[in-house]
Amino acid sequence: MNLIIVGLNHKTSPIEIREKLSFPSQTIGEPLKKLTNHFGLNEGVILSTCNRVEVLAITNDMEKGVWQIKRFLSDYHAIPLEKLDEHLYVHLGEDAVKHLFRVGAGLDSMVMGEPQILGQVKDSYGYAVQFNTAGVIVNKLYHKAFQVAKRIRSETKIGESAVSISFAAIELARKIFGDLSGKSCMLIGAGEMAELAAKHLLTNGIREILVANRTYEKAVEMVKGFGGTAIMFREFPHYLKNVDIVIASTGAPNFIIRPDQIHEVMRERKQKPMFFIDISVPRNIDPLVNNVDNCYVYDVDDLQGVVVANLQERSKEAEAAERIVEEEIEKFYRWIKSLDVVPTIISLRQTCDQIRKAEMQKGLASLNHLSEKDRKVLDAMTSAIVNKILHHPVTHLKKEANKVEGDLYIDTIRKLFDLTIDEEAVKKAQNNDD
Amino acid sequence: MSEIFFHITAVAYLVATFVYIGYLFARKDRLLDAAQYILLAGFAAHTVTIVTRWVAAGRTPATSLHESLTFFSWIVIALYMFLLFKYKQRVLGAFIAPFALLLILSASLLPQEIIPLAPVLESYWLPVHVILAFMGNAFFALAFFLGIMYIIQERYLKKRKLKGLYFILPSLEVLDELNYKCLQYGFPLLTVAIITGAVWSEYAVGSYWDWKPRQIWSLITWFLYAALLHGRLTAGWRGRKAAIFSGTAFMILLASFIIINLVSGGAHGLSQ
């Protein structure tokens, strides 16, 4: 089996190249068919996202295969190969398996461990199935890749920590409040960032969102989007005691929330914790508010720090994830190895011969009167029967093994006869052949 | 018989403690799983220790300080398991296991022979009183460690430097909530324990209350926790303030327990 991946990603190429090379999913059938029909590749999958374009293919000849895929990319998008080549990476054999596993688990993504890529890999495989360019190896390989991604997700925390500012803020809120349902939030300033944060809060089940903006109409406009309540800007201090999270993003040149004011608010709300997120520059919330008991103030820099900390914690998880990848590659290769035709034939012959011998022994035990010569005749006869029965399957296996469907034949034989590979026996047999 | 299991318990808690500490540093869930299983195994051995001792002595094993510490640590772990089952906060184990280990190790240093109990003290009230008192105090111990976890987590959030334990400790609200729950369980238990103690005293020596150090200190503890609960309910004491208060109250409780027992040589100075 010769597996090849040729492609480029955000690390090896600028966006200008990536966008030229992308394959829209609506018309993906055409390039897939071209890949397998015109370029003579056995199986093919095309993964196209905004950060990467990759072609995975199974071929009989690696060197030729790589060249074919490169030609395909260049022909299909009408980009001269000389311009393209410097951005392309090539992964062959085991290296390609590893690459696919890592991509699926998000280990190769711009934001490590991000979950979207798995869905995109799943889609790319889905198209290959739909347009009949996925064979037995691609099937097994992708199912394994999904398994690996799932295992990494469940055994490491790589996907857990938030690595964008607004997600980091939500995660902080959850470390303070636990469950966010039943909590309420006030946005002071109806900017884009605030709106984004509000949407994240809503998906995390926040109960109520108040919006205060200097231009009241803008606040009204904004709450239409998610069913919050608009309040007059000058009245926002009166509502502070009712909200748990405050997100400030006004253009005000000075602090609009001060410690003395919050002391009062905290007394009124019986010291229930408050979380202040200040995404405005210059800052709108006096950092001294952080010194008030049960109040936590984070500005943009603090949130950036949280993102860095989260990323560090993730990279610790990446080690564990890489170990899982290695483990799974080994498992996959054990399966791949079993697809070699020679060991399969040896194993098939051995299995049948073992059955023959066992049955002979049983039969002969009750045929004591037979002479040595009779026994030899019987032995030769049963041997001949087994050999004759196996003759056609073995000839076909040998013939088909190098064709497109070869792996399917081998896999089927292994399953039908319940064959296991005895590596020692295979080695021995191969040495005898030499 | 009881002795072998006592040693097994001690070793299991020791190993669990190390694995828990490993978890706090490495933050790998596999370590947490392992530590939890080892702690559970230790708890099983601990249970056998208590049962065999109970059978051998023919009375509640809480007469000598050795027995009291062994029994108390068993109840602490048992109630931790109860919280674990109910609220699924596994990291608490990393704080409880070393505490149980400390209690067991202290117990192992003390004379272990079975001291006969004065016949006058034999009563149904003995196990009832002892178990209620230990359960109450064990909940306060759990509250103490939840308070420590709260203070650590709060410090990370206030300093805005997130690293290490921040990533594995539960949220402030959960910690505060659990702390409060422990007080809500512990306080009524302590109250009933004091009452049953008084009743037992009436049966044994003919007076409900005679201002023994033990009784005075349990009353002080009772007032401390009553004040804390009152503050939580009415004055909005919560979070760090409540954590520090319950921590201090527990340290007073623990100190008085140890001092009284060391001075009198046994529970209530009533053995021999």
A122 with A182, same domain? no
Nearest to B77 by CA among B107, B105, B99: B99
Task: List pLDDT tens digits, range A303-323.
Answer: 888 888 887 777 777 888 888
B262 with B134, same domain? yes
A107 with A239, same domain? no
Beta strand A89-92 with A2-9 is antiparallel
B129 with B244, same domain? yes
Helix or strand run (H / E) with residue A373? helix A372-400
A171 with A154, same domain? no
Considering only the beta carbons, identify the residue of A161, A271, A298 that sits closest to B236.
Answer: A271
Q: Are the C-beta atoms of residues A159 and A328 closer than 8 Å to each other?
A: no
Active-site residue numbers of A?
A: 50
pLDDT in tens, chain B (272 residues): 678 888 899 999 999 999 999 999 988 888 989 999 999 999 999 998 888 888 888 777 887 788 888 889 999 999 999 988 888 888 999 999 999 999 999 888 887 777 777 776 777 778 888 889 899 999 999 999 999 999 999 999 988 888 888 888 999 989 998 999 999 999 999 999 888 888 888 877 777 877 777 788 888 889 989 988 988 888 778 888 889 988 999 998 888 887 877 776 554 544 43
B79 with B161, same domain? no
Q: Are the C-beta atoms of residues B13 and B97 closer than 8 Å to each other?
A: yes
List the single residue in B with minimal CA-CA distance to A161. Answer: B167
Residue A285 in contact with partner chain B when CB distance is under 8 A: no
Apex CA B181: angle with CA B176 and CA B183, to 5°?
100
- Cα-Cα-Cα-Cα torsion A80, A84, A89, A91, nearest 10 degrees, comes to -20
Q: Do the Cβ atoms of A177 and B167 come within 8 Å?
A: no
Chain B positions touching A177 (Cβ under 8 A) are 171-173
Question: What local confidence, expressed as pLDDT, does residue B19 receive?
Answer: 94
A221 with A83, same domain? no
Question: Within a domain: residue A322?
Answer: no
Last residue of a domain, one of B75, B96, B115: B115
**Chain A nearest C-alpha distance from B161 (Å):** 7
Considering only the beta carbons, identify the residue of B160, B173, B240 that sits closest to A176.
Answer: B173
Considering only the beta carbons, identify the residue of A177, A310, A320 that sits closest to B173.
Answer: A177
A25 with A154, same domain? yes
B56 with B132, same domain? no
Question: Within a domain: residue A321?
Answer: no
Tokens read off for A432: 């005898």
Which amino acid is residue B146, in one-letter code?
Answer: L
Last residue of a domain, one of A307, A326, A359: A307
**Cβ contacts from A onto B, under 8 A:** 66
Cβ neighbours around A391 below 10 Å, total: 10
B216 with B227, same domain? yes
What domain range is B106 assigned to? Answer: 1-115
A197 with A136, same domain? no
Last residue of a domain, one of B86, B115, B144: B115
Q: Are the C-beta atoms of residues A23 and A31 closer than 8 Å to each other?
A: yes
Question: Within a domain: residue A375?
Answer: yes
B121 with B215, same domain? yes
Last residue of a domain, one of B115, B150, B170: B115
The domain tally of chain B equals 2
Q: Do the Cβ atoms of A293 and B237 come within 8 Å?
A: no
Radius of gyration for chain B, computed over Cα atoms and rounded to the nearest angstrom: 19
Apex CA A222: angle with CA A220 and CA A226, to 5°?
110
Last residue of a domain, one of A161, A192, A216: A161
Question: What local confidence, expressed as pLDDT, does residue A434 receive?
Answer: 41
Would you tell me the crossing angle of helices A165-177 and B172-205 to the nearest 10 degrees?
Answer: 10
List the single residue in A with minimal CA-CA distance to B166. Answer: A175
Residue A293 in contact with partner chain B when CB distance is under 8 A: yes
Which amino acid is residue A411, in one-letter code?
Answer: D
Those residues of chain A that have pLDDT short of 50 are 430, 432-434
List the single residue in B with minimal CA-CA distance to A308. Answer: B162
A38 with A120, same domain? yes
Q: Do the Cβ atoms of A309 and B239 come within 8 Å?
A: no
Nearest to A226 by CA among A190, A199, A197: A199
**How far from the centroid of its chain's Cα atoms is residue B226's Cα?**
18
The domain tally of chain A equals 3
What domain range is A354 assigned to? Answer: 337-433
Chain A positions touching B180 (Cβ under 8 A) are none
Q: Do the Cβ atoms of A175 and B153 come within 8 Å?
A: yes
| DSSP structure string for A293-328 | TTEEEEEHHHHHHHHHHHHHHHHHHHHHHHHHHHHH
Last residue of a domain, one of A104, A139, A161: A161
Q: Do the Cβ atoms of A293 and B240 come within 8 Å?
A: yes
Q: Are the C-beta atoms of residues A41 and A69 closer than 8 Å to each other?
A: yes
Reduced to 3 states, what is the DSSP secondary structure of residue B210? coil
Phi, psi of B227, deg, nearest 5: -65, -40
B87 with B196, same domain? no
Q: How far apart are CA A342 and CA A337, in angstroms?
A: 10
B121 with B237, same domain? yes
A426 with A341, same domain? yes
Residue A176 in contact with partner chain B when CB distance is under 8 A: yes
Q: Do the Cβ atoms of B157 and A293 come within 8 Å?
A: no
Considering only the beta carbons, identify the residue of A155, A270, A298 that sits closest to B236.
Answer: A270
Chain A positions touching B158 (Cβ under 8 A) are 290, 296
A177 with A141, same domain? no
B109 with B128, same domain? no
B159 with B133, same domain? yes
A156 with A183, same domain? no
**Chain A nearest C-alpha distance from B243 (Å):** 12
Q: Are the C-beta atoms of residues B49 and B6 closer than 8 Å to each other?
A: yes
A141 with A270, same domain? no
Burial class of A27 by CB neighbour count within 10 A (0 to 12, 13 to 18, 19+):
exposed
**How far from the centroid of its chain's Cα atoms is residue A315's Cα?**
16
Q: Are the C-beta atoms of residues B5 and B43 closer than 8 Å to each other?
A: no
Question: What local confidence, expressed as pLDDT, does residue B272 receive?
Answer: 34
A219 with A348, same domain? no
Q: How far apart are CA B262 and CA B272, in angstroms?
A: 15
Nearest to B182 by CA among B77, B74, B83: B83
Apex CA B136: angle with CA B133 and CA B140, to 5°?
135
Would you tell me the crossing angle of helices B93-109 and B2-26 to the nearest 10 degrees?
Answer: 140
Radius of gyration for chain A, computed over Cα atoms and rounded to the nearest angstrom: 32
Q: What is the CATH number of the domain that holds A117?
A: 3.30.460.30
Q: How far apart are CA B136 and CA B185, in angstroms?
A: 7
Q: Are the C-beta atoms of residues A245 and A239 closer than 8 Å to each other?
A: no
List the single residue in A with minimal CA-CA distance to B234. Answer: A270
Is the peptide bond preceding residue A282 cis, with omega within 30 degrees of 0?
yes
Residue A305 in contact with partner chain B when CB distance is under 8 A: yes
**What are A147-153's contacts with CB under 8 Å, separation 24+?**
A147/A328, A148/A101, A148/A104, A148/A105, A148/A324, A148/A325, A148/A328, A149/A101, A149/A104, A149/A105, A149/A106, A149/A118, A149/A121, A151/A324, A151/A328, A152/A105, A152/A107, A152/A320, A152/A321, A152/A324, A152/A325, A153/A105, A153/A115
Sequence-distant (6+) residues with CB within 8 A of A146 are A104, A118, A121, A122
B139 with B270, same domain? yes
Helix or strand run (H / E) with residue B250? helix B239-264
Q: Are the C-beta atoms of residues A188 and A322 closer than 8 Å to each other?
A: no
B190 with B221, same domain? yes
**Chain A nearest C-alpha distance from B14 (Å):** 26
Q: What is the CATH number of the domain that holds A230?
A: 3.40.50.720
